[in-house]
């Protein structure tokens, strides 16, 4: 496993981290707590030292599992979590007021709840789970994050950009008020690299790349006849003709690369890591076998210039979260 500095936070984090949304169990089905804990333990054994969770994942259940796993890590593990919007709306509406999303008290109380869930005294990184650039000049969220750092309850602070809206955090990153920014970045959605990544590098803001496998679309395993439990988030994400769209895009991609579909996840992760602005990539983590294959992506390093050029031609701007 290789490590990179997480911007101004200064942490040396593993290039491959653990995304734990799926461990919450409220929107993802399959697997078990025992399997999730085994996946975290295997990740630690392979040198993974960065975990991203959130208070909203399973109403705190994901954080509780992280808390159970930490004492057996055998190394320093950097934990990031997130303050949910008070109105529970993702992404933040353009007209959403700060009062209905991130009051001072809500940010502080949510952080304290997360600390109780994980049974820790401080979180390494606390993030706001949505963002609206209209809030930039407001004082409440700034005071809350500053007070968390001064009290020692959060060692670093950041923001998770709204889905497919990387430019919404450009001004925020340029202010120097945050240590990190989390954003969707993958072979299909490459927009963050156009304007956000250069600004992040300029201001030493660490970039956490989420959804590197497009919720499974870039695993090569989604086919037209793939079925998900109706309660599973993916049954909505890949609804209608979306599986057909994905299959056509993925088949064209692996055909031009000349690879087997089983090699696609590693290529997708290495694509993210090939950009120097990215400190860590956080694929979803529930299966120890996937943890092992994900870790291999770090060991093999960045992709060649030729492969990157091919992948750039397969950018596919789409928003399966918001599209009806």
Digit-by-digit pLDDT tens for the chain (324 residues) are 999 999 999 999 999 999 999 998 877 777 799 999 999 999 999 999 999 999 999 999 999 999 999 999 999 999 999 999 999 999 999 999 999 999 999 999 999 999 999 999 999 999 999 999 999 999 999 999 999 999 999 999 999 999 999 999 999 999 999 999 999 999 999 999 999 999 999 999 999 999 999 999 999 999 999 999 888 889 999 999 999 999 999 999 999 999 999 999 999 999 999 999 999 999 998 899 999 999 999 999 999 999 999 999 999 989 998 754
Cα 98 to Cα 34: distance, rounded to the nearest angstrom: 39
Cα 289 to Cα 287: distance, rounded to the nearest angstrom: 5
What residue segments make up the domains of the chain, in order of their start?
3-312
Cα 14 to Cα 5: distance, rounded to the nearest angstrom: 9
For 40, half-sphere exposure in the C-beta direction (CA atoms, 13 angstrom radius) is: 31
Q: What angle do CA 206, 207, 209 make, to 5 degrees?
A: 155
Cα 159 to Cα 165: distance, rounded to the nearest angstrom: 12
Cα 253 to Cα 313: distance, rounded to the nearest angstrom: 9
This prediction has a pTM of 0.96
Place domain 3-312 in its CATH homologous superfamily: NADP-dependent oxidoreductase domain (3.20.20.100)
SS3 11: coil
14: enclosing H helix or E strand:
strand 12-14
- Measured CA to CA in angstroms, residue 227 lies from 8, 149, 221, 265, 304 at distances of 43, 45, 11, 20, 35
Structure tokens given for 127: 């993030």
Name the CA radius of gyration of the chain, rounded.
Answer: 19
Residue 52 and residue 301 in contact, taking contact as beta carbons nearer than 8 Å: no
């Amino acid at each position: 496993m290789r490590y990179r500095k997480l911007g101004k936070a200064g942490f040396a984090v593993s290039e491959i981290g653990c995304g734990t949304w799926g461990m919450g169990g409220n929107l993802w089905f399959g697997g078990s707590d025992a399997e999730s804990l085994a996946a975290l333990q295997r990740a630690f054994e392979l040198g993974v030292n960065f975990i991203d969770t959130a208070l909203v994942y399973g109403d705190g259940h994901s954080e509780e599992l992280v808390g159970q796993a930490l004492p057996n890590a055998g190394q320093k593990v950097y934990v990031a979590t997130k303050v949910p919007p008070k109105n529970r709306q993702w992404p933040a509406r353009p007209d959403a007021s700060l009062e209905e999303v991130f009051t001072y008290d809500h940010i502080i109380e949510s952080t304290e709840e997360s600390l109780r869930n994980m049974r820790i005294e401080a979180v390494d990184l606390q993030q706001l789970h949505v963002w609206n650039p209209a809030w930039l000049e407001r004082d409440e969220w700034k005071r809350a994050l500053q007070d968390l750092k001064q009290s020692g309850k959060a060692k670093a602070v950041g923001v998770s950009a709204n889905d497919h809206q990387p430019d919404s955090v450009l001004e925020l990153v340029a202010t120097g008020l945050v240590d990190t920014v989390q954003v969707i970045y993958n072979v299909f959605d490459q927009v963050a690299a156009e304007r956000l990544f250069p600004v992040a590098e300029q201001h030493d803001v660490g970039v956490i790349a989420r959804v590197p496998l497009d919720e499974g679309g870039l695993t090569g395993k989604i086919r037209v006849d793939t079925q998900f439990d109706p309660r599973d988030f993916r049954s909505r994400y890949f609804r209608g003709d979306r599986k057909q769209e994905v299959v056509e895009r993925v088949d064209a991609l692996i055909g031009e690369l000349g690879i087997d579909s089983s090699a696609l996840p590693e290529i997708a992760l290495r694509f993210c890591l090939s950009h120097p602005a990215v400190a860590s990539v956080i694929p979803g983590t529930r299966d120890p076998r996937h943890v092992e294959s994900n870790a291999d992506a770090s060991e093999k390093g960045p992709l060649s210039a030729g492969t990157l050029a091919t992948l750039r031609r397969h950018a596919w701007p789409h928003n399966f979260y918001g599209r009806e």
